[in-house]
């Protein structure tokens, strides 16, 4: 219980900090900074933060800064495991009719992926069970979107993205374009679960609170088309036991798809597959652009 005098001191300090932004010439920046300060002070006062805890928090952020470089972004990882990335996506992608839902981007997208033709192979030799992916891209009126650019990327069967090997390989990522009917298809690998990078401060935090670093199995998509809103999303595998505990809160029911498993045999593109494979359909609906 804090005394009335203590309350007054704490409120007075907050008031002075908030008013320090009164002359900020950019109203949006002023709004952001004053709200941030109010919430941060509210946190400190609610939990009665100790000075040792404050020091630990500074050490944590310092360690996150030290491990961050061109290839590793610990702050985004922190935002992801706190659900802040997904909350920001939710705020910025209010449901628009039947448009496909967005989810977290993640740190493993790489620009300039190899182009493959419709029916081509995105795996680039990455280990994993072959997976035939097909679907359409339409707008919210159901009109096919021809020439939409579809970027796909995923972890391999060993739970690693190509960029995590550190040997310049390019695998399990590609892009292709829809045909005049908005259709697309390609070979990928059946997604499997993998942990987010957990050898740094965010991993230590997850361990300290008893949380797993595992992500539910997924295949990333980014779809762009002129005059429509860019969609960043994944599809997830129905039946995956991690769907309810994805460590970055990325799962949305509408993105959980049936990956039908097949014994060796004929495939939709007329091959005779000599090993087990899977097949999924993902029909993508792009929202109108943000005005």
> Please, which residue, 100 or 247, has the CB nearer to Fe ion?
247
80 binds, among Fe ion, ligand BEZ, none (CB under 5 to 8 A by kind): ligand BEZ
Stretch that binds ligand BEZ, among 19-27, 43-51, 104-112, 119-127 (CB under 6 A): 104-112
Contact 189, 132 (CB under 8 A): no
Strand partners of residue 232: 222
182 binds Fe ion (CB under 5 A): no
Rounded Cα gap, residues 250 and 110, in angstroms:
20
Kindly report the CA angle at 220 between 214 and 226, in degrees rounded to 5? Answer: 155
Cα 134 from chain centre: 21
What DSSP letter does each residue of 57-122 carry, written as one string?
Answer: HHHHHHHHHHH-SSS--HHHHHHHHTTHHHHHHHHHS---TTPPPP----S---SSPPB--TT-B-
173 binds ligand BEZ (CB under 6 A): no
> Please, which residue, 80 or 151, has the CB nearer to ligand BEZ?
80
> Please, which residue, 43 or 165, has the CB nearer to Fe ion?
165
198 binds, among Fe ion, ligand BEZ, none (CB under 5 to 8 A by kind): none
237 binds, among ligand BEZ, Fe ion, none (CB under 5 to 8 A by kind): none
Rounded Cα gap, residues 25 and 99, in angstroms:
38
User: What is the contact mask toward Fe ion in residues 97 to 116, using x (rule: CB under 5 A)?
Assistant: ---------x----------
Rounded Cα gap, residues 87 and 185, in angstroms:
31
User: What is the contact mask toward ligand BEZ in residues 74 to 93, using x (rule: CB under 6 A)?
Assistant: ---x--x-------------
219 binds ligand BEZ (CB under 6 A): no
Helices (H) and strands (E) in the chain, counts: 6, 14
Question: Residue 127's closest CA among 155, 153, 156, 152?
Answer: 156
Stretch that binds ligand BEZ, among 66-74, 105-113, 115-123, 134-142 (CB under 6 A): 105-113
Contact 236, 256 (CB under 8 A): yes
CB of 130 to Fe ion, least distance (A): 19
CB of 49 to ligand BEZ, least distance (A): 27
Member of 86, 104, 137, 285 binding ligand BEZ (CB under 6 A): 104
Q: Is 242 helix (H, G, I), strand (E, B) or coil?
A: coil
191 binds Fe ion (CB under 5 A): no
CB of 5 to ligand BEZ, least distance (A): 46
128 binds Fe ion (CB under 5 A): no
3-state secondary structure 105-139: CCCCCCCCCCECCCCCECCCCCCCCEEEEEEEEEE
237 binds ligand BEZ (CB under 6 A): no
> Where does this chain bind ligand BEZ (CB under 6 A)?
77, 80, 104, 106-108, 196, 215, 248
């Amino acid at each position: 219980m804090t005394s009335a005098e203590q309350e007054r001191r704490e409120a007075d300090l907050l008031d002075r900090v908030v008013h320090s932004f009164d002359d900020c010439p950019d109203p949006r920046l002023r709004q952001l900074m004053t709200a941030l300060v109010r919430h941060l002070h509210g946190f400190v006062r609610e939990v009665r933060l100790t000075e040792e805890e404050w020091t630990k928090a500074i050490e944590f952020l310092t360690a996150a800064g030290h491990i961050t470089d061109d290839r590793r972004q610990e702050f985004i990882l922190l935002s992801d495991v706190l659900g802040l990335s997904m909350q920001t996506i939710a705020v910025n992608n209010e449901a628009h009719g039947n448009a496909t839902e967005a989810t977290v981007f993640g740190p493993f997208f790489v620009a300039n992926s190899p182009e493959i033709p419709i029916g081509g192979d995105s795996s680039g030799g990455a280990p994993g069970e072959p997976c035939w992916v097909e679907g359409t891209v339409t707008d919210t009126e159901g009109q096919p979107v021809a020439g939409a650019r579809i970027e796909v990327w995923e972890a391999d069967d060993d739970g690693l993205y190509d960029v995590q090997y550190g040997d310049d390989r390019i695998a399990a990522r590609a892009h292709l374009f829809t045909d005049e009917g908005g259709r697309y298809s390609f070979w990928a690998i059946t997604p499997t679960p993998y942990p987010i990078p957990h050898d740094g401060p965010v991993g230590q935090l997850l361990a300290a609170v008893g949380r797993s670093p595992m992500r539910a199995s997924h295949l990333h998509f980014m779809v762009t088309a002129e005059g429509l809103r860019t969609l960043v999303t994944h599809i997830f595998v129905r039946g995956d036991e991690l769907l309810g505990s994805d460590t970055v809160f990325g799962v949305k029911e509408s993105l959980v798809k049936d990956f039908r498993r097949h014994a060796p045999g004929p495939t939709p593109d007329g091959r005779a597959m000599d090993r087990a494979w899977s097949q999924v359909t993902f029909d993508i609906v792009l929202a109108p652009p943000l005005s």
